[in-house]
Amino acid sequence: MRVNPVAWPLRRIAAALTVSALLAACGNSSAPEAGAARGRPNIVVILADDLGYSDLGAFGSEIRTPNIDALARDGQVLTNFHVTQLCSTTRANLLTGADHHLVGIGSLVDLVLPYQTDQPGYEGQFNHRARTIAQLLRDGGYHTYMAGKWHLGEPGPERWGFERSFALAGTLGNANNFGSQAGLENSADPVFFENGEPATLAPGKFTADHYADKLIEYVDEQRGDRKPFFLYYAVQTPHWPIQAPDQYLDRYSGVYDAGYGAIREARIGRQKALGIIPADFKVHPGTPIGTPSYGIPGPLLHRPWGLLTPLERRQEARSMEVFAGMLENLDDNVGRLLRHLKDIGQYDNTLVVFLSDNGADGNGYPIPPSGYLDNSLENYGRQGSFIYHSVGWADAGAAPFRMFKGFTAEGGISSPTLVKLPHATGASRKLPALASVLDLAPTILELAGMGNPGTQYHGREVAPLEGRSLLPLLRGETAAAHAADAVFAGEVYNHRYVRRGPWKITRADALPFAGGLLANQDWQLYNVDQDRGETTLLATRSVSTLALPAPTDEYSEIFDGLLADWRAYVERVGVALPDLQQ
């Protein structure tokens, strides 16, 4: 089936939501689901990998994601939800409720830089201050099941509270979605582990399919004891290598021939029509032309679609066709998992949270020649291929924001997030309140009746929860999750931001991998209440300790306050910085 992405009919989304709402209304008059008594709720967290803000249908995409979009019907659409700019760090925040520096994940676990080596908080695995929600929930009588990408070092999920798990161990090169070949590394070392023991996928089995199979298996094995469960479905989709089962590879044939600029513009139009962003939103124009781009065939400089050669346009369009098929496969698996919960009478009494670990990816690598990879156009997305997004498609995925994964601009840290509360159907709302991944742990624990667990766990001092429960916001009891002057801050690889009220300062460095060859920048000030697209740079300040005194301007007091917040954050969580930087 071919889809016209520029004229994608909004009525399809509206019709789907209307039909779903009618079905839900009919269901409300029937008897409660078997086994769905209003006891402690089940909890399902679905974490996508490198999913951009505009990649879901509910957030403006042309990609068909009806099962994920259905969560918007039954729940809340969080349009101002923030994560960290990279994978491991968001996962640490999510599972512990604490800043990732405090629990040993100051950087990606498989890429600790020289100035970070041997520094507290950069152990490359959970440290002695970590405590996960899986541990707390299991202690409190929950079954705890995980399937997917771990990326939090060793030991794995079996040591951090998960009763049953099937996990991708995770290094930068081993994310192949078909079996155990370790991607770029082609290593014979085990890639997957079940309950801590080496495991494999069935030949040709796709990871997202297998992970869903495992979670369904785990739930069914222990249904008889009627204990609530926590499911953590942490897929690689749509992280590189961009791959999909054969039946998904040609579903979007021709859809992306118009190019990344046209797709981005069409998505922004739908976002406005859907109410994801206001009609007068100041849209960022996109990554500057000439930015280094390691996509396929790469490395090249980011260029307008019209300046690509015919072959380059076909390669770019085909990579996005595969990406769309990969995401549709995830949607089918989300639907399969949630339908199973309905079939066994547990969906109604379940909290479902869907989010991404960071923004859309535009940071690839040069692909080395090898005898085991086949990156011919005909093999894109199949076993043995290893392809990435280019900067152009990252811009489309991050729409309407600035930059993408790896950066603390809004495109790197904004997640398309959906939350369905237990016993809530047909109550869809769009919530523009500012919220963070750190808010999920206290939300989950409060819903489970466990409250704040404090800072002692089994005789050791652990990092405290840092977020706020979102339940009052989600239940419509308040319009904000945080105080107006609450401080939000983050840092990974010297990419930093601080936000207080409407003001945000952000700073980019040269990323430590090949696709991020961007010149170092000074602190940049934006008013993100009025300009979340970060289109208007208001003022700058140097990060160097050798710089001249800061200039005096109308933003001096604001900058001074935000820089004081930054220094307090660095001291509190133990950020390791390069020499001569503040």
Query: How many Å apart are CA 86 and CA 49, to the nearest integer?
Result: 9
Cis peptide before 310 (omega within 30 of 0): no
Query: How many Å apart are CA 322 and CA 254, to the nearest integer?
Result: 11
Nearby residues of 468 by Cβ (< 8 Å), 6 or more positions away: 439, 442, 481, 482
Residue 498: beta bridge partners? 489, 505
CA angle 315, 319, 323 (to 5 degrees): 170
| DSSP state for residue 164 in the 8-state scheme | E
3-state secondary structure at position 420: strand
In Å, what is the CA distance from 347 to each residue of 168, 229, 355, 509? Answer: 27, 12, 18, 44
Cis peptide before 297 (omega within 30 of 0): yes
Show the tokens assigned to 215: 């979670």
Residue type, 490: G
Tell me the DSSP string of 481-550.
SS-TT-EEEEEETTEEEEEETTEEEEE----SSGGG------EEEEETTT-TT-----EEE--BTTSPPP
Backbone angles phi, psi at 335, to 5 degrees: -60, -40
Residue type, 382: R
Query: How many Å apart are CA 545 and CA 548, to the nearest integer?
Result: 9
Q: Are 196 and 221 in contact (CB under 8 A)?
A: no
Annotated catalytic residue, options 82, 100, 143, 151? 151
In Å, what is the CA distance from 553 to each residue of 325, 393, 501, 527, 559? Answer: 50, 38, 20, 16, 10
Q: How many residues does the chain have?
A: 582
Annotated catalytic residue, options 82, 87, 210, 389? 87
Catalytic residue at 458?
no
In Å, what is the CA distance from 363 to each residue of 292, 511, 515? Answer: 9, 9, 4
Catalytic residue at 87?
yes
Show the tokens assigned to 20: 């779903």
Of residues 539, 576, 264, the one with CA closest to residue 404: 264
b/e per residue 79-92 (b: at least 16 CB within 10 A): bbbbbbbbbbbbbb
In Å, what is the CA distance from 202 to each residue of 28, 191, 220? Answer: 41, 13, 21
**Which residues are designated catalytic?**
87, 151
